[in-house]
């Protein structure tokens, strides 16, 4: 049986060592603030502010619950 794969390949929660810019809201993330970094491959790196990251996690959790319910119920999902 193949090994299950992660939906998000690589993430990290970091404390900004300098000013960064949120990839979604374009707001400045100040030095010392917590942010999340998502890596799509070895070169693509996206930084999101803590507030935006929390909203993204909530949306992802809701969507994963929908997917899980569809799989358990044997129904299609768009």
Q: Which domain, by its residues, includes 14?
A: 10-73
pLDDT, greater one: 76 or 4: 76
Q: Assess whether pLDDT exceeds 90 at residue 4.
A: no
- Give the count of domains, the chain: 1
pTM recorded for the entire structure: 0.81
Instruction: Indicate whether 29 belongs to any domain.
Output: yes
**56 belongs to a structural domain:** yes
Domain-located, residue 78: no
Within a domain: residue 4? no
Q: Over the stretch 16-27, which tens digit does the pLDDT of each residue have?
A: 999 999 999 999
From residue 51, how far is each of 33, 36, 54, 78 by CA, in Å?
11, 10, 5, 28
pLDDT at 24: 95
Residue 78: its pLDDT value, please? 77
Give 3's Cβ-side CA count (13 Å radius): 2
How many whole angstroms from its chain centre is CA 49? Answer: 11
Give yes or no for a contact between 33 and 43, defined as CB atoms under 8 angstroms apart. Answer: no
In a domain, residue 19? The reply is yes
Q: Please state whether beta strands 45-49 and 34-39 pair in parallel, antiparallel, or not at all (unpaired).
A: antiparallel
- At 32, is the pLDDT very low, low, confident or very high (cuts 50, 70, 90)? very high
């Amino acid at each position: 049986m193949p090994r299950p794969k992660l939906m998000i390949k690589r993430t990290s929660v970091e404390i900004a060592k300098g000013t960064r810019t949120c990839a979604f809201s374009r707001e400045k993330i100040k030095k010392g603030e917590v942010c999340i970094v998502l890596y799509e491959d070895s070169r693509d790196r996206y930084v999101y502010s803590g507030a935006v990251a929390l909203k993204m996690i909530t949306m992802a959790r809701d969507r994963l619950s929908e997917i899980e319910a569809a799989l358990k119920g044997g129904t299609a999902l768009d």
